[in-house]
Amino acid sequence: MIAYRAMLDVPRELVAYVARLLADERRARGTRRGSRALTCWRQALFALVWFRKREDIAVLGAGFGISRATAYRYHDEAVSVLAAQAPQLPEALQRVQSEGWTFVILDGKVVDTDRCAETKISKKGKVIDAWYAGKTHDFGGNVQAVMRPDGLPIWVSEVEPGSAHDLTVARQHALGALYAAAARGLPTLADPGYDGAGIGVHTPLKQPADGRQLDVDTRTYNMLLRSLRCLGERGLALLTQGWRALQHVTASPSRIGDLAKAALVLTHFEHRYLSR
């Protein structure tokens, strides 16, 4: 086996931040000093390498001198402490409004996973793969995200099976808080997949089924809506491209929500958006 040095493109301050969270977790658990295979700093570095590069956890652990079981345990611990720092949607919306933004953007993402054998009964009464997403024609988990107009993601939801429609997942996890924000003057913009979401969630108007053309006012409304929404859609790219761990998940798909929340916290740190 040949060892080599590598560079990680994250600031030193981010490693220190994750290390502090891990140190707090160890104190809460009553972990004895010197009883762990890695220091908090080394465990934080191990976790950030995985988030950024999505390397095999066992192989990455071997590079840090820890066993396969320890590597998975340290990985799960780091994900959990980071995910716990993710903001709740009501407080995230309140902060956005206090900063002077006039709307937010709602969008969904199916995070790619390995095939999962779990099944469910569809609305048509057929047995289908619960984690198969017709949206991507692949297996994955559906997470919803809310972004500021400039594209910074401010919140991500828990994961639901990929077979769930974006609107269904949004109803479960987001629409209640978005309605309350709209009543305070902070509406939501969304793509046509959220048509019927309700008052305060604005979507483009669809072409009439009978083939008639939309009138000029409606076409202008749709154009303005899309032009305002397009910048916000980079928010999911910030999460999935900046942190490659979300490009394909080989762990249980039920962990996707925690992974997305952890990536959100890391993104907030990089953009100096963490609440102090």
Residue 197: partners with Cβ closer than 8 Å, 6 or more residues away: 106, 167, 170, 171, 175, 188, 190, 203
Average pLDDT, the chain: 91
Closest CA to 253 of 100, 134, 137, 118: 118
CA dihedral for 157, 163, 166, 170, sign (positive or negative) = negative
The CA–CA distances, whole Å, from 24 to 19, 27, 39, 200 equal 9, 5, 13, 40
pLDDT at 110: 94
Mean pLDDT of 147-174: 95
Residue linked to tokens 């409304």: 221
pLDDT 10s digits, 55-81: 999 999 999 999 999 999 999 999 999
Distance CA 262, CA 210 (A): 46
Question: Global pTM?
Answer: 0.91
Mean pLDDT of 84-111: 96
Compute the residue count for the chain. 276
> Residue 1 above 60 pLDDT?
no
pLDDT 10s digits, 137-158: 889 999 999 999 999 999 999 9
